[in-house]
């Protein structure tokens, strides 16, 4: 019985540490986001939660390998001068500078 408790305790501790590392791994200027594959007006949107508010971005230069609905990413961006697609209701059109998958 003690060995089962020990195994469960170690597993819980290691999972919680992995979660802590993920939150601490964000560098300045990086954002956690979720990719959403939409309709023809707004084919790809990245949503983030910033200070309790949901922000929606249209990435003008997203790679095809990142176009996976529901995929979590960490990214940096700069505002883009590219036009926002007609009918696409987002906060800003962006240019992705760096991206990495969240495991």
Judged against a pLDDT cut of 50, whether residue 10 lies above it is answered with yes
The whole-model pTM stands at: 0.72
Bridging pattern class, strands 53-59 and 44-50: antiparallel
Its CATH architecture, for the domain 28-101, is Beta Barrel (2.40)
1 or 19, which is more confident: 1
Q: Mean pLDDT, to the nearest integer, of 74-90?
A: 92
11 or 63, which is more confident: 63
Phi then psi for residue 87, to 5 deg, are: 85, 5
pLDDT (0 to 100) of residue 5: 47
Mean pLDDT of the chain: 82
């Amino acid at each position: 019985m003690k060995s089962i408790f020990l195994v469960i305790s170690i597993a819980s501790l290691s999972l919680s540490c992995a979660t802590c590392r993920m939150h601490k791994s964000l560098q300045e200027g990086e954002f956690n986001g979720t990719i959403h594959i939409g309709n023809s007006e707004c084919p790809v949107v990245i949503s983030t939660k910033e200070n309790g508010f949901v922000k929606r971005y249209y990435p003008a230069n997203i790679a095809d390998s990142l176009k996976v609905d529901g995929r979590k990413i960490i990214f940096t961006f700069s505002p883009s001068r590219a036009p926002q697609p007609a009918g696409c209701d987002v906060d800003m059109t962006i240019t992705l500078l760096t991206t990495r998958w969240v495991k």
